[in-house]
C-alpha cells in the first residue's frame, strides 16, 4: 500500500536510523500510522505530530498509546504556518492534503465520502499545504535534515520549480520515487545551507 511504500522510502533515505535516533516532525498526522511505524523502527527517536483536526491528534495519541510508544510522541493541534517548537528536527515527514480542489469530488466514494475533506483538498493546484511546508521546513530543522512528502504525481516538478524560485528556503530536491502504480508520489528534500 501507499503507507508502507512511503515509510519504506523514508527509512531507506533518512539520516535517522535505529543506531542514530533523533527527533522528527510529522505534519498532518491523521491516525498516526506514519509516526507509529517510524517510532517502532527508530527506537530512541522522538516524534512531534501535528494536525489541524483535534480528532486526528486524539486518534494519533490513542493509537500510539495502544502500541506502547506514547512516551516518545508529543501531539499538538496546529497548522504548519503557526506551529512553533524549541526543538530543531532531524526530519520532517508529511502526507499533506495534496489533491487539487477540482478533483476531490472525482475520488473513489470510499475516500471522498469518508475522509475529512480538509485532509484531502490541497487547494487549486494541490500545493497549498506543500508550499507552506516548504516555506517553514528550514526554520524547523537542523542543517542536513531530511524532508519527505507524499504528493500528487504532478507535484515533483512544481516543488523543484518552487525551490529554484526560493533559494532562501535552503532546500534541495534530492529525489522523487514512484508508488506501486508507477506514479511519482514521494519526494525527498534536504535542508542545506
- Whole-number percent of the chain with pLDDT over 70: 99
Report how many helices (DSSP H) and strands (DSSP E) the chain contains, helices first. 7, 7
- The rounded mean pLDDT for the chain is 93
- Whether 148 and 94 have beta carbons less than 8 Å apart is answered as yes
Determine how many CB atoms are found less than 10 A away from the CB of residue 161.
Answer: 11
Q: Who contacts 3 (Cβ-Cβ below 8 Å, separation ≥6)?
A: 33, 34, 37
Residue-wise pLDDT tens digits, 100-114 = 888 888 888 888 787
The Cα 39–Cα 100 span in angstroms is: 31
pLDDT, tens digit, 9 for 90 and up, residues 77-108 = 999 999 999 999 999 999 998 888 888 888 88
Instruction: Name the pTM for this structure.
Output: 0.94
pLDDT category, 170, cuts 50, 70, 90?
A: very high
d(CA 136, CA 50): 14
User: Counting Cβ atoms within 10 Å, is residue 182 exposed (0-12), middle (13-18) or buried (19+)?
Assistant: exposed
Flag whether pLDDT at 74 surpasses 60: yes
What pLDDT does residue 72 have? Answer: 97
> Cα–Cα distances in Å, from 9 out to 5, 99, 162, 183?
6, 21, 22, 14
Amino acid at each position: 500500500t501507499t503507507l508502507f511504500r512511503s515509510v519504506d522510502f523514508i527509512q531507506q533515505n533518512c539520516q535517522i536510523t535505529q543506531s542514530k535516533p533523533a527527533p522528527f516532525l510529522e505534519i498532518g498526522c491523521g491516525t498516526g500510522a506514519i509516526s507509529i511505524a517510524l517510532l517502532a523502527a527508530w527506537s530512541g527517536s522522538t516524534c512531534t505530530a501535528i494536525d489541524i483536526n483535534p480528532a486526528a491528534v486524539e486518534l494519533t495519541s490513542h493509537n500510539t498509546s495502544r502500541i506502547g510508544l506514547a512516551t516518545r510522541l508529543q501531539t499538538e493541534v496546529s497548522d504548519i504556518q503557526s506551529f512553533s517548537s524549541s526543538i530543531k528536527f532531524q526530519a520532517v515527514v508529511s502526507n499533506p492534503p495534496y489533491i487539487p480542489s477540482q478533483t476531490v469530488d472525482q475520488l473513489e466514494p470510499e475516500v471522498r465520502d469518508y475522509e475529512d475533506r480538509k485532509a484531502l483538498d490541497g487547494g487549486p493546484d494541490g500545493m497549498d499545504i506543500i508550499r507552506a511546508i516548504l516555506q517553514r521546513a528550514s526554520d524547523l530543522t537542523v542543517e542536513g535534515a531530511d524532508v519527505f512528502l507524499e504528493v500528487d504525481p504532478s507535484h515533483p516538478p512544481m516543488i523543484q520549480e518552487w525551490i529554484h524560485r526560493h533559494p532562501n528556503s535552503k532546500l534541495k530536491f534530492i529525489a522523487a520515487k514512484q508508488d506501486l502504480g508507477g506514479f511519482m508520489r514521494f519526494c525527498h528534500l534536504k535542508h542545506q545551507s
